[in-house]
Structure 1
Amino acid sequence: MITQLAQLADILQLAPLSAAVGALEWAQVSTDSRKIAPQSLFVALVGEHFDGHDHLAQAREKGAVAALVSRPVADPLPQLVVPDTLQALADWASWQRQHWQGPMIGVTGNNGKTTVKELLGAILRLHYGDVLVTAGNLNNHIGMPLTLIQLASHHQAAVIEMGANHLGEIDALAALARPDYGVITNVTGAHLGEFGSMDAIAEAKGELLAHLPPSGTAILNADDTYCRYWQAQSPCPVHTFGLSQGDWQAEALTLYPEGGASFTLSGPDGIQRQVQLQLSGRHNVSNALAAITGALSMGVPLETVIAGVAKVQPAAGRLQVAQGLMGITLIDDSYNANPGSTRAAIDLLALRPASSRWLLLADMKEMGPESEWFHREIGEYAAQQGIDHLLSYGPMARLAAETFGPGGEAYDTQDALLEAVIPRLDAQSVVLIKGSRSAHMEHLVTRLQS
Structure 2
Amino acid sequence: MHLTLEEIVSCLSAETRGEIANRVVERISTDSRTLQPGECFVALKGPSFDGHHFCEQAEAAGASALIVSTPIESVRAIPQVIVPDTLVALGEIARLWRSKLSSCKVVTVAGSSGKTTVKEMAASILRRHFSTFATQGNLNNLIGVPLTLCALEEHHQAAVVEIGMNMPGELARLVEIAAPDCVALTNIGNAHVGMFGSLEGLYEAKAECLRYAPSSATFVLNADNELSQRALQQYANGHRVILFGSTEKAHVRAHTISPMSPYGFSFILVVEGKGEAPVTLRTFGQHNISNALAAAAIGHFFDVPIGEIAAALSAFQSGLNRSEVENLGGIWIIKDYYNASPAAVEAALKGLREFAAPGRRYAVLGDMLELGELEEEYHERVGVVAARAGLEKLFAYGPRSRVTAHAASREGLDVSHFEDIESLVTTLRQALKEGDVVLIKGSRLMKLERVYEMLKGALLSQEK
Same fold flag (TM > 0.5): yes
Distance in 1 (alpha carbons) for counterparts of 2:246 and 2:98: 35
Per-residue deviation, 1:397: 1.3
Match of 1:336 in 2: 339
Which has the larger displacement, 402-411 or 78-87?
78-87
Match of 1:421 in 2: 428
Q: Which amino acid in 1 is paired with 2:50?
A: D
Structural mapping, 1:257-296, within 5 Å: 257-268=261-272, 271-296=275-300
Q: Provide, for residues 312-343 of structure 1, a one-character-per-residue CA deviation record: whole Å limited to 9, x for no partner.
A: 2212211211133x542211111111112212
Match of 1:306 in 2: 310
Distance in 2 (alpha carbons) for counterparts of 1:255 and 1:3: 51
Per-residue deviation, 1:39: 4.4
1:53 and 2:57 aligned: no
Structural mapping, 1:111-130, within 5 Å: 111-128=113-130, 130=131
Distance in 2 (alpha carbons) for counterparts of 1:63 and 1:283: 47
Distance in 1 (alpha carbons) for counterparts of 2:231 and 2:76: 52
Q: Which amino acid in 2 is paired with 1:119?
A: M
Asked if structure 1 preserves the Cα contact closer than 8 Å seen for 2:9 and 2:81, the reply is no
Structural mapping, 1:212-223, within 5 Å: 212-223=213-224
Asked if structure 2 preserves the Cα contact closer than 8 Å seen for 1:72 and 1:79, the reply is no
Asked if structure 2 preserves the Cα contact closer than 8 Å seen for 1:328 and 1:430, the reply is yes
Question: Given the superposition, is the C-alpha separation of residues 310 and 37 from structure 1 closer, same or farther in structure 2, using an over 3 Å criterion?
Answer: farther
Asked if structure 1 preserves the Cα contact closer than 8 Å seen for 2:64 and 2:79, the reply is no
Distance in 2 (alpha carbons) for counterparts of 1:59 and 1:205: 37
Which has the larger displacement, 137-146 or 5-14?
5-14
- How many residues align structurally? 447
Distance in 2 (alpha carbons) for counterparts of 1:442 and 1:4: 44
Asked if structure 2 preserves the Cα contact closer than 8 Å seen for 1:104 and 1:180, the reply is yes
Gaps of 5+ in 2: 458-464
Per-residue deviation, 1:294: 2.1
3-state SS of paired residue (2:129): helix
Q: Which amino acid in 2 is paired with 1:219?
A: V
Distance in 2 (alpha carbons) for counterparts of 1:77 and 1:363: 50
1:236 and 2:243 aligned: no
Distance in 1 (alpha carbons) for counterparts of 2:59 and 2:261: 51
TM norm structure 1: 0.92
TM norm structure 2: 0.89
Question: Given the superposition, is the C-alpha separation of residues 409 and 36 from structure 1 closer, same or farther in structure 2, using an over 3 Å criterion?
Answer: farther
Match of 1:144 in 2: 145
Per-residue deviation, 1:16: 7.5
3-state SS of paired residue (1:127): coil
Match of 1:70 in 2: 69
Q: Which amino acid in 1 is paired with 2:201?
A: A
CA RMSD in angstroms comes to 2.3
3-state SS of paired residue (1:120): helix
Match of 1:409 in 2: 416
1:255 and 2:254 aligned: no
Q: Provide, for residues 218-273 of structure 1, a one-character-per-residue CA deviation record: whole Å limited to 9, x for no partner.
A: 11101101233222211312221113452222112123343332211234369332
Distance in 2 (alpha carbons) for counterparts of 1:270 and 1:27: 40
Distance in 1 (alpha carbons) for counterparts of 2:152 and 2:370: 33
Q: Provide, for residues 349-370 of structure 1, a one-character-per-residue CA deviation record: whole Å limited to 9, x for no partner.
A: 2223243221111101111211
Distance in 2 (alpha carbons) for counterparts of 1:17 and 1:59: 16
Asked if structure 2 preserves the Cα contact closer than 8 Å seen for 1:352 and 1:430, the reply is no
Query: Which of 387, 393, 403 lines up with 1:389 in the alignment?
Result: 393
Match of 1:105 in 2: 107
1:437 and 2:439 aligned: no
Per-residue deviation, 1:7: 4.9
Q: Which amino acid in 2 is paired with 1:436?
A: S
Distance in 1 (alpha carbons) for counterparts of 2:120 and 2:333: 23
Which has the larger displacement, 393-402 or 264-273?
264-273
Match of 2:40 in 1: 41
Distance in 2 (alpha carbons) for counterparts of 1:404 and 1:153: 54
Asked if structure 1 preserves the Cα contact closer than 8 Å seen for 2:43 and 2:68, the reply is yes
Match of 1:173 in 2: 174
Asked if structure 2 preserves the Cα contact closer than 8 Å seen for 1:181 and 1:218, the reply is yes
Per-residue deviation, 1:145: 1.2
Per-residue deviation, 1:440: 0.6
Asked if structure 1 preserves the Cα contact closer than 8 Å seen for 2:114 and 2:186, the reply is yes
Asked if structure 1 preserves the Cα contact closer than 8 Å seen for 2:275 and 2:306, the reply is no
Asked if structure 1 preserves the Cα contact closer than 8 Å seen for 2:18 and 2:80, the reply is no
Match of 2:28 in 1: 29
Per-residue deviation, 1:22: 5.0
Distance in 1 (alpha carbons) for counterparts of 2:17 and 2:435: 67
Q: Provide, for residues 189-220 of structure 1, a one-character-per-residue CA deviation record: whole Å limited to 9, x for no partner.
A: 10101112222222222222234445442111
Per-residue deviation, 1:138: 1.3
1:363 and 2:371 aligned: no
3-state SS of paired residue (2:318): coil
Asked if structure 2 preserves the Cα contact closer than 8 Å seen for 1:9 and 1:80, the reply is no
Which has the larger displacement, 424-433 or 358-367?
424-433
Q: Which amino acid in 1 is paired with 2:123?
A: G
Distance in 1 (alpha carbons) for counterparts of 2:447 and 2:246: 32
Asked if structure 2 preserves the Cα contact closer than 8 Å seen for 1:36 and 1:59, the reply is yes
3-state SS of paired residue (1:81): strand
Asked if structure 2 preserves the Cα contact closer than 8 Å seen for 1:2 and 1:149, the reply is no
Q: Which amino acid in 1 is paired with 2:287?
A: H
Per-residue deviation, 1:155: 1.1
Structural mapping, 1:150-169, within 5 Å: 150-169=151-170
Asked if structure 1 preserves the Cα contact closer than 8 Å seen for 2:164 and 2:171, the reply is yes
Match of 1:87 in 2: 88
